[in-house]
A = this chain, B = another copy of it.
Amino acid sequence: MAGWVKIVGLGPGDEALVTPDVSAALDAATDVVGYIPYVRRVAERPGLTLHASDNRVELDRAGLALDLAAKGRRVVVVSSGDPGVFAMAAAVFEALEDRPERQAFDIEVMPGITAMLAAAARIGAPLGHDFAAINLSDNLKPWEVVVHRLRHAARGGFAMAFYNPRSKSRPHQFGEALEVLREELPGEVPIFFARAVSTDEEQIRTATLAEATPEMADMRTVVIVGTAATRAVGPFHYTPRSVS
């Protein structure tokens, strides 16, 4: 087995946000494995096989990557953003648990620009102090766990970033999350809806917690919730470094 698996982050969309490290891995690959829209971002070339699969088959996809590496292929598993933030790295390690030869695999994780940090940069510095990143999807955890974490993040005074705030199959969960936040935080706290950051379709909207509606988010949106201290300066918003 002289193959390898590199689990890489392609960043939020703009090619100028892909690290040279990740570009070099893609140049050296024989196979690219990932969710259809992310694999589409990789340029085709002779000698490179693209394996694009649908959403919600992360474990099958991870298993395919390990199978290919075991046959000596050089495999890049692509995620958008960073592979360790609600993306493919954990799925590959989960698939690795089922392999008796797990120590033999040559695996590397390569970080990328995750959506919340690209979104925060566009807004200003809304995550300028302590913050929590929460996956709002209840695909893999009970909704009560999401609510429990929202309350603790709010009570701890954390800014927050929400991934997967709203899906077609569960359109109500983000509305429920807003209700929980309204129970815990002042209505003036700003919320930022950053859609498709760094792409041609980028859209950033700002609302207060009191004004925010579930329709402001969709599957391609990362939501950032400020704190009671977050404030506007010029066209930007930031959360101050100091807590008095």
The chain A residues found within 8 Å of chain B, CB to CB, are: 11, 14-21, 24, 58, 82-86, 89-91, 93-94, 96-97, 102-103, 105, 107-114, 117-118, 120-122, 124-135, 140-142, 145, 148-149, 151-153, 155-158, 233-236, 238-243
Q: Are B242 and A93 in contact (CB under 8 A)?
A: no
13 contacts between A and B (CB under 8 A): A18-B19, A18-B20, A84-B127, A89-B121, A94-B240, A107-B234, A109-B125, A130-B134, A132-B153, A140-B241, A140-B242, A152-B158, A156-B156
Which residue, A15, A85, A241, has most C-beta atoms of chain B within 10 A?
A241
CB pair A124–B233 under 8 Å, yes or no, is no
Least CB distance from A78 to B in Å reads 14
**Nearest 8 A-B pairs (CB), nearest first?**
A152-B156, A90-B128, A141-B243, A89-B125, A109-B121, A93-B238, A16-B21, A102-B234
Closest to A133 in B: B131
Closest to A140 in B: B242
Q: Is the CB of A120 within 8 A of B84?
A: yes
